[in-house]
């Protein structure tokens, strides 16, 4: 069983609560509920996903005791988790981890890029880096002439991620400015350029199959 510097034994309780949430079973790495718990605990979704498999297997005597105590007593489990949240400072990571060295990196992929569409009060114009990673994968499957709102793949992705096709096209326009093979000359730099350039540096020059696999996993965050 892997170790994590921020993992506490009490965290098996919210993990079990999530496991028992219908449909019962191991949740996908980037499902909304898994990511929300990861952000609460300040622990990567991948680690929680692996821990959930250990939980499922009743891998230790202490986990067996948890199953015996809570598997058929969900109200008791929910009460224990609620009390844990009140005691441990869930949703207040800045206060809870004060003085503890943490790497605030993966969390940034789930934080809104508020600087870019702040003039809109509509969620369909709000982006997080997660959107950009998924859009970059689609970018590599299209040609510039098809990077338009009428393209069915763009419309489908907009519907899945709950943003507009116009925003996706704006992001692709910014990626074109990052793409060294595009040789695009522009007089106006996209307001999304900096964020898209960061994503390009992380994934744009890597293995496209790995990016496609990651994008497929990340889409689970938006599935309802």
Residue finishing a domain among 53, 68, 96: 96
Cα dist from 178 to 1, 33, 165, 212, whole Å: 41, 33, 20, 19
The domain boundary residue, chosen from 96, 117, 146: 96
135 shares its domain with 198: yes
Residue 102, in any domain of the structure:
no
Query: Would 101 be classed as within a structural domain?
Result: no
State how far the Cα of 41 lies from the Cα of 37, in Å rounded to an integer: 6
Give the model's pLDDT for residue 182.
82
69 with 122, same domain: the answer is no
d(CA 196, CA 219): 18
Q: In which domain, by residue range, is 51 found?
A: 9-96
pLDDT score, position 96: 46
Indicate if 136 and 87 belong to the same structural domain.
no
pLDDT score for 2: 66
- Burial label for 86, CB within 10 Å (0-12, 13-18, 19+), is exposed
Considering the domain architecture, whether residues 16 and 116 belong to the same structural domain is answered as no
Instruction: For residues 89 and 39, state if they share a domain.
Output: yes
Examine the domain organization and report whether 120 and 210 are in the same domain.
Answer: yes
Structural domains of the chain, count: 2
Low-confidence ranges of the chain (pLDDT < 50): 96-97, 99-102, 118
- pLDDT value for 187: 62
* Domain termination residue (choose one: 96, 115, 137): 96
Indicate whether 126 and 82 sit together in one domain. no
How far does Cα 149 stand from its chain's mean position? Answer: 25
Do residues 65 and 117 share a domain?
no
Q: Based on the domain organization, do 112 and 92 belong to the same domain?
A: no
d(C-alpha 96, C-alpha 176), whole Å? 41
Tell me, what's the pLDDT at 4?
87
Q: What is the pLDDT of residue 221?
A: 97
Do both 83 and 23 map to the same domain? yes
> 3 in a domain, yes or no?
no
pLDDT given for residue 193 in this prediction: 92
The answer on 79 and 26 residing in a single domain is yes
**One domain for residues 18 and 91:** yes
């Amino acid at each position: 069983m892997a170790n994590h510097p921020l993992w506490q034994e009490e965290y098996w309780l919210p993990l079990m609560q999530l496991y028992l949430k219908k449909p019962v079973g191991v949740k996908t790495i980037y499902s909304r509920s898994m990511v929300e718990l990861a952000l609460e605990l300040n622990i990567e979704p991948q680690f929680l996903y692996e821990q959930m498999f250990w939980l499922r297997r009743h891998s230790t005597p202490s986990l067996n005791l948890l199953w015996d105590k809570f598997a058929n007593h969900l109200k008791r489990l929910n009460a224990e988790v609620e009390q844990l949240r009140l005691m441990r400072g869930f949703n207040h990571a800045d206060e809870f981890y004060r003085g503890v060295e943490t790497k605030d990196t993966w969390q940034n992929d789930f934080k809104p890029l508020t600087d870019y569409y702040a003039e809109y009060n509509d969620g369909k114009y709000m982006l997080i880096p997660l959107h950009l990673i998924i859009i970059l994968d689609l970018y590599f499957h299209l040609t510039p002439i098809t990077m338009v709102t009428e393209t069915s793949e763009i419309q489908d992705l907009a519907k899945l991620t709950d943003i507009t096709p116009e925003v996706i096209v704006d992001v692709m326009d910014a990626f074109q400015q990052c793409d060294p093979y595009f040789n695009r000359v522009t007089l106006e730099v996209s307001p999304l350029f900096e964020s898209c350039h960061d994503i390009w540096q992380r994934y744009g020059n890597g293995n496209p199959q790995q990016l496609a696999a990651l994008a497929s996993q990340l889409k689970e965050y938006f599935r309802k």
